[in-house]
Amino acid sequence: MTDGLVLDSIGHDYDGVPVVKGVSLRIRPGELVCLLGPSGCGKTTTLRVAAGLEAPRLGRVILNGKVVSGDGIHLPPEERHVGFLFQDYALFPHLDVMANVAFGLSGKPRAEREQRARQMLAQVGMSGYVDAWPHQLSGGQQQRVALARALAPSPSLMLLDEPFSGLDKRLRDQVRDETLHVLKSTRVSTLMVTHDPEEAMFMADRIAVMRGGEIVQLAPPDELYNHPRDAFVASFFGEVNLMAGVVRGGAVATPLGRFAAPGLTEGIVAEVLARPEALTLTASAQGHATVLTARRLGRSSLVHLRLEMPEMAICHLHARLGGGAAPAEGERVEIAVDSSQVFVFPAAAD
């Protein structure tokens, strides 16, 4: 057994209804892994099992080479040396910032507790708030104090449950960047739950995409984006243009062209998913596509298109373009496609 966190074939249910089914993963020391998926997929229950807040019905939890759940053993959270950071931060309102951060250091001399608390507050940029009360802090400041409190006892594992979802977007981007730097500098193993794909890709070394209580794909962000295992994973990491066709001669014909369907059975219905950024537009009076709308979205523009190809149904598509002027509404364009951002999978069963 090795250091870090190991979830070994974890299964859990509530009132006989399975919510986690055979989840296995390992988080190495210093690694940050995100559990990502829609509501009800089992990600929070998996986190609670890792924390010791739930005893799994099946499987084992191993922390730094020691079984902490399973094999007839279940250590409570306070005996696991685990740090927590949740959405509501859970700061003690009757304690000032210094006392909040020092709270988990009981048993140590007062001077040592204060020194460690000041060290952690400096690390999260809150040195000037040691005497402040939680209600005097902004949401972002409360989150930093909660992070300092969680890290003060030098936990072997950090568990984060949607820690940034209560912040507005500008502050969320800033605070999660700061949090990532602190977690990486401490080299603590971290398991984080989020429903936000962009946040997972920003924070994680690897992402475990969950659906129906199971891990569908576990991989680094780039691999998940560029080599999704199925249509669910592909569509979870951003908008896709969805088309359908029949596999003929190892490929599927769509209004955007023919795309290879390696490994798919001849004659089955397939789904073809093309990311909006895979489409490049060129103005052409003879173009088969017409621009319906074009909207600037910060650094990019989203273009809604109607594509009419001979002997094919009219197809509505989105293209995401980088800097520069977007085409005008009503303009006719030709579409070129980057096939590396097009994915072909068997059609999902109804």
Q: Residue 336: give its domain's CATH number.
A: 2.40.50.140
Q: What CATH number has the domain bearing residue 41?
A: 3.40.50.300
Residues 306, 219 share a domain: no
Residues 278, 262 share a domain: yes
Check the CA dihedral 32-38-44-47 and report its sign. Answer: negative
CA distance 20 to 31: 23
Six-digit token string for 275: 């990311």
Task: Give residue 350's pLDDT.
Answer: 57
Residues 223, 246 share a domain: no
Residues 290, 217 share a domain: no
CA distance 165 to 140: 11
Residues 218, 164 share a domain: yes
Number of compact structural domains in the chain: 2
**C-alpha distances in angstroms, 89 versus 2, 143, 147?**
31, 6, 8
Six-digit token string for 300: 């990019």
CA distance 150 to 102: 10
Residues 221, 180 share a domain: yes
Mean pLDDT by 10 residues, the chain (350 residues): 86 94 95 95 95 95 95 92 82 93 87 92 92 92 90 92 84 87 90 94 96 96 94 91 95 95 94 95 94 90 94 93 85 95 87
| Segments forming the whole domain that contains residue 265 | 239-346
Which H helix or E strand runs over 207?
strand 206-211
Hunting for tokens 């399975």 — which residue is that?
18
Residues 167, 271 share a domain: no
Six-digit token string for 292: 């319906």
Q: Which residues pair with 214 in a beta bridge?
A: 211
Task: Give residue 322's pLDDT.
Answer: 85
Q: What is the pTM of this model?
A: 0.89
Six-digit token string for 77: 């959270």
Check the CA dihedral 109-84-20-13 and report its sign. Answer: positive
In this structure, the strands spanning 58-63 and 66-70 are antiparallel
Task: Give residue 241's pLDDT.
Answer: 96
Residues 214, 244 share a domain: no
Task: Give residue 299's pLDDT.
Answer: 85
Residues 254, 221 share a domain: no
Task: Give residue 2's pLDDT.
Answer: 63
